Amino acid sequence: MGIMFEMSTQSFPLWTFPILFATGLIAGFVDSIAGGGGLITLPVWLSVGMPPQYALGTNKLQATFGSGSAAWHYTRAGIVSLRECSLGVFFTLIGAAAGTVLVQKLDPSFLKRFIPVLLLGIVAYIIFKPRIGDKDVHPRISNKPFYIIFGLVLGFYDGFFGPGAGSLWTMALMLGLGFNLTKATAYTKVMNLASNACSLIFFASAGHIYYLAGLSMGLGQLLGARVGSHMVVRKGTGFIRPIFISMVLAITIKLLYDSFHNFSSSKP
């Protein structure tokens, strides 16, 4: 059986920890650029035998490291003004808290059918409007109503369901506040950090986290997000766009597959 580490009620062999670190490294790099890191990390948690509720909780722990690292780097580079988006952080926390509480009582499966359509619309819009996000444009809505509305809605969504939340934030910031793609990506990570940290508190209070495993992947996230955000700052929108489109498509395909698979499985 080899050397084992005990975490809560489950044991993991020693060889899984380098895999968790490497997964976090890759996911942190991708997520800091275009979001969608959960597509990489959640299957790994499930493959090592974590129950779903522990996989979700532990995933929030490691994701907080990645979003925190990216948000810190973007802020330090001067792309993000925390004062400017503080209202958004506040309402994202409220929305994420409501979503995390509600997901424990309701079935989020209806979102699996609606969100892929929305994500496909984002991809189509970016492909047919190739210049969107190249530079800042005049905002369509002022900061205060934008951050109240989208903080509550997207914070709730991230706490309740989650896949594609980063993509939705990035698109909302470009269309609503007129941000270029680099700036929208940076502000998205600040909002992701808020919703991840808020959800983490609720999962921790329920005891649904394996801390040693989460920290192992979280260290990889920390490094991967630092490298990814550094590349975004250096290379700009031309570097982000193809990765962003690829990750949105990957999330869409995964959600469509899950919906189709669940529908087929439910047939007599």
Q: Which two tokens stand for residue 206?
A: 């329920």
Q: What is the dihedral of CA 47, 53, 55, 61, to 10 degrees?
A: -170
Entry pTM: 0.86
Structure letter (DSSP) for residue 6: E
The pLDDT-based confidence of 220 (bands split at 50, 70, 90) is: very high
In degrees and rounded to multiples of 5, residue 250 shows phi and psi of: -65, -45
In this predicted model, what pLDDT tens digit does every residue of 113-152 receive, in sequence order? 777 777 788 878 777 776 777 788 899 999 999 999 999 9
Domain, as residue range, for 166: 4-266
d(CA 31, CA 184) in angstroms, rounded, equals 14
Q: Is the pLDDT of residue 112 over 70?
A: no
Structure letter (DSSP) for residue 12: E
Q: Is the pLDDT of residue 47 over 50?
A: yes
- pLDDT score for 62: 95
In degrees and rounded to multiples of 5, residue 7 shows phi and psi of: -140, 115
In degrees and rounded to multiples of 5, residue 10 shows phi and psi of: -130, 145
What is the DSSP track for 26-87? HHHHHHHHHS-THHHHHHHHHHTT--HHHHHHHHHHHHHHHHHHHHHHHHHTTS--HHHHHH
The pLDDT-based confidence of 13 (bands split at 50, 70, 90) is: confident
In this predicted model, what pLDDT tens digit does every residue of 22-33 receive, in sequence order? 999 999 999 999
Instruction: Tell me how many domains the chain contains.
Output: 1
Q: Is the pLDDT of residue 214 over 50?
A: yes
- pLDDT score for 49: 83
Sign of the Cα torsion 184, 190, 194, 200 reads positive
In this predicted model, what pLDDT tens digit does every residue of 236-267 receive, in sequence order? 888 888 888 888 888 888 878 777 665 455 45
Helix, strand, or coil (residue 236): coil
